[in-house]
Structure 1
């Protein structure tokens, strides 16, 4: 009985050439970014702005709806990013929607999720709701406008952030983070 030679198409494993993990196997889970509201955003039109927010992580890009003529908009909109690398920063940019010209940039901010992921990896079951796990203070190294707390609330870890926008004269954006575990993903552990 003669065995057939191993060709690139059949490496003997029955799985073709690649042993690369699937996208699901590389994912840690989903980061839900609730874009709550903007505070004192810059004026880019005559008396106001038509702001929307773009959130990016790696190649992913999500955006909120446009709020017309409001420098203190309330979006309360959830944007969901898939996370495979917890070291990768999340970038947030506010734009003014213009109908007949390129949208104007109204500032940007960046935040890390490493500390948030570390809190998720702790065994927190049994803690009372409202327990603060970690506090993060504003510094030159981050875009925080005020103290940010990672807390255990209603059986899950959440983080509220108030981000000071950079590269603009004024403006802050309030967001909240929470995590979604994905069945079939690598997970956090």
Structure 2
């Protein structure tokens, strides 16, 4: 991507919740999410004994290379052994970054800028909308976890402009 149409900045990823996550302990799990992009690694808090955890945690990623995927892995926290993998998914942020380039002058609140359909090439459970809301571009998505018997992750992306940057409106 050439630098004229893309500015580096930060992406706020709200890890909302897990849905029907895999059981890794006797009847439940103690899940947390690890988010990796390039050499960045962030993680949520552990929610004890819950296969439908609500984190509602904001993790901030610095975006230098939009071609790098964001990898999310859910783990079950174990006190006395290695944490168990509960599945993973990837987020392709290119459609989101492309929506940032669109003119947003006089757009009504709630305007859908782009819709991404579930496909074999992504991890979406259902279509995901990139929306203009409250003077921000927001993308909500529900991802199906891979390499596991069940589980989904719900998250929301929001762009954070660096101080002094053009907001694009």
Query: TM-score normalised by the shorter chain: which range applies?
Result: over 0.9
User: Equivalent residue for 1:135?
Assistant: 115
Aligned alpha-carbon RMSD (Å):
1.8
Unaligned runs of 5+ in 1: 1-26
Query: Considering only CA atoms, is the larger Rg found in Structure 1 or Structure 2?
Result: 1
Taking the aligned partners of 2:22 and 2:117, their CA distance within structure 1 comes to: 25
Residues matched between the structures, number? 163
Taking the aligned partners of 1:99 and 1:82, their CA distance within structure 2 comes to: 31
Report deviation, 1:186. 10
Does the 8 Å contact 1:28/1:187 carry over to 2?
Answer: no
Q: Are positions 1:72 and 2:52 aligned together?
A: yes
Unaligned runs of 5+ in 2: 1-6
User: Equivalent residue for 2:105?
Assistant: 125
Does the 8 Å contact 1:29/1:185 carry over to 2?
Answer: no
TM-score (structure 1 length as normaliser): 0.83
User: Equivalent residue for 1:17?
Assistant: none
Q: Are positions 1:161 and 2:141 aligned together?
A: yes
Q: Deviation above 2 Å: which 4+ runs of structure 1?
A: 183-188
Give CA deviations for 1:85-111 in whole Å, capped at 9, x if unaligned: 111110000000000000000000001
Structure ranking higher in strand proportion? 2
Which residue, out of 69, 80, 89, partners 1:109? Answer: 89
TM-score (structure 2 length as normaliser): 0.92
Taking the aligned partners of 2:11 and 2:34, their CA distance within structure 1 comes to: 15
